[in-house]
Amino acid sequence: MSTLILDGSNDADVAEAVGLLAAGRIVAVPTETVYGLAADASNDDAVRRVFEAKGRPTNHPLIVHVADVERARKLSTDWTSAAEILAQSFWPGPLSILTRRSSGVSGVVTGGLDTVVLRVPDHPVMRRLLALVHDQGSIGLAAPSANRFGAVSPTTASHVVADLNGRIDAVLDGGPCSVGVESTIVDCTSEPAVILRPGGVAVEDIAAVFSEHGLSVEFSPGVVAENGNRGIEQAIAPGMLRSHYAPNTRLQVFETPSALTEARHAAQSRGLRVVELPHPESVYEYSRDLYASLRACDDLGADLIVGLLPRAVGLGAAVRDRLLKAAAER
Ligand code: TXA
Ligand code: MG
């Protein structure tokens, strides 16, 4: 199968993407965070194709993307006030809500779990696409990031093609992603709610909105497990953590510029070819460019990439999380 490239700014191309999805095919789609590999969430066979194309274990659940909060509520049996507050405050946007799934969501999408993660993305092409697939009767689009399992997430259509050409039916090109790291995932099934993955919405912003309503939130990064069960990654020693978001070239990350420079010189004196990951002053730019920069460094074929960790403030928490996972031992 050769992968078709569709132009998200062209109505006929968007309609073609809708037709492919309605026919059970899989299409990479733009979102403001990263590109997703979408299937009609109402079609189990299509969803299975996503797992296959990514090489992802089938017990590793997918996020379901919907056009609006009304659609999301219908897919939940227990839409809590925490979920409603988050949806009203941050949707459309880079935030995903874990809730109890209704029978309308297939267990194939959720890896057999009785919960589902829902998101209303904020990208004009994706929003148009979602409106059209809902019109065709679909509950939404199940979509993980459009990369091979464990690899760096794609933030342009050409990244998707580099990873998945020939394994997926089409890519709908919506330009480069503006946020650049995945959504923040919040578990709203527990009280207080728990942040499972830092992402495009800052933890501080979630805490602030919750506190206005007398609610609180816990922060447990890294507990979104391989199989979707909370807590498993934490139980594994850091060195055993399967690397994720990872380039092929080994990556080392540092807290300070001086530690980075020292390590760089030490590696060079051993004859290694070292490249330094760009680290823009602005954390928004760091986040937006992170995955493209990792890919560009990877393409240089060096022996080692060295990167500087931003402070864990605002979006910095998400950038740190991804850099640490990318640097984890394989
Ligand atoms: O920004 C994003 O979230 C992007 C775009 C495409 O929306 N999507 C994304 O999907 O990052 P993915 O599949 O690469 O990461 C979703 C994470 C996975 O770690 C998965 O295990 C977890 O969410 N997850 C999904 N459903 C879950 C559930 N029911 N319970 C626990 N974890 C779940
Ligand atoms: Mg992913």
Contact 327, 252 (CB under 8 A): yes
Give every CB contact of residue 151 below 8 A, 6+ residues apart in sequence. Answer: 163, 245, 246
Q: Is 117 helix (H, G, I), strand (E, B) or coil?
A: strand
pLDDT over 90 (residue 146): yes
Q: What is the DSSP letter of 260?
A: H
Flag whether pLDDT at 306 surpasses 50: yes
Say yes or no to pLDDT of 224 above 60.
no
**pLDDT score for 99:** 98
Share of the chain above pLDDT 90, in %: 88
> What are the DSSP E strand ranges found in 192-287?
193-197, 217-219, 250-254, 274-276
pLDDT of residue 243: 76
**Distance, CA 266 to ligand 2 centroid (Å)?**
33
Ligand in nearest proximity to the CA of 37? 1
- Whether 253 and 309 have beta carbons less than 8 Å apart is answered as yes
Q: Shortest CA distance to 256 belongs to which of 307, 291, 297, 316?
A: 307
Residue-wise pLDDT for 186-198, tens only, equals 999 999 999 999 9
Confidence of residue 219 (pLDDT cuts 50, 70, 90): confident
Residue 177 CB–ligand 1 contact under 6 Å: no
pLDDT in tens, 159-172: 999 999 999 999 99
For residue 190, give the nearest of 231, 227, 225 by alpha carbon.
231
pLDDT for 239 equals: 34
Q: Which atom of ligand 1 is nearest to the CA of 183?
A: 1
* pLDDT value at 223 more than 50: no
The residue that leads in pLDDT, 26 or 59, is: 26
Tell me the C-alpha distance between 217 and 79, whole Å: 16
pLDDT band at residue 244 using 50, 70 and 90 as cut-offs: confident
Q: d(Cα 250, Cα 176) in Å, to the nearest integer?
A: 25
Q: If you average pLDDT over every residue of the chain, what do you get?
A: 93
The number of the ligand nearest the C-alpha atom of 152 reads 2
* CA of 228 relative to ligand 1 center, distance in Å: 9
Instruction: Give all strands (DSSP E) within the chain, no chain letters.
Output: 4-7, 27-29, 36-40, 63-65, 95-100, 115-119, 141-142, 170-173, 184-187, 193-197, 217-219, 250-254, 274-276, 304-308
Instruction: Answer yes or no: is pLDDT of 225 > 70.
Output: no
For residue 222, is pLDDT > 80? Answer: no
Q: Is 183 in the pocket of ligand 1 (CB under 6 A)?
A: yes
329: confidence class by pLDDT, cuts 50, 70, 90:
confident
Distance (Å, whole) CA 60 – CA 154: 19
121 Cα nearest atom in ligand 1: 7
Note the pLDDT of residue 150.
Answer: 86
Give the pLDDT confidence score for residue 221 in this predicted structure. 61
Mean pLDDT, residues 86-110: 98
Instruction: Give the type of residue at 3.
Output: T
CA atoms lying within 13 Å on the CB side of residue 88: 10
Contact 28, 194 (CB under 8 A): no
Q: Which residue's alpha carbon is at the smallest distance from atom 20 of ligand 1?
A: 61
**Ligand 1 proximity of 186 Cβ (cutoff 6 Å):** no
- Lowest average pLDDT, out of 52-66, 241-255, 296-310, goes to 241-255
> Which pLDDT value is given to residue 110?
96
Q: What is the mean pLDDT of residues 3-10?
A: 98
Q: Please calculate the CA angle 99-120-241 and round it to the nearest 5 degrees.
A: 60
Smallest CA separation from ligand 1 atom 7, residue: 36
Cis status, amide bond into 92, omega within 30 of 0: yes
Omega before residue 192 within 30° of 0, cis: yes
Structure confidence at residue 101 (pLDDT): 97
Residue 237 scores a pLDDT above 90: no
pTM of the model: 0.95
Q: What confidence score (pLDDT) does residue 227 get?
A: 37
| Cα angle: 219, vertex 144, 222; to 5 degrees | 25
Burial of 321: CB neighbours in 10 Å, binned 0-12, 13-18, 19+ = buried
Q: What's the CA-to-centroid distance between 155 and ligand 1, angstroms? A: 16
Q: Atom 10 (ligand 1): residue with closest C-alpha?
A: 144
Q: Assess whether pLDDT exceeds 80 at residue 120.
A: yes
Say how many Å lie between the CA of residue 256 and the centre of ligand 1.
31
Mean local confidence (pLDDT), 88-97: 98
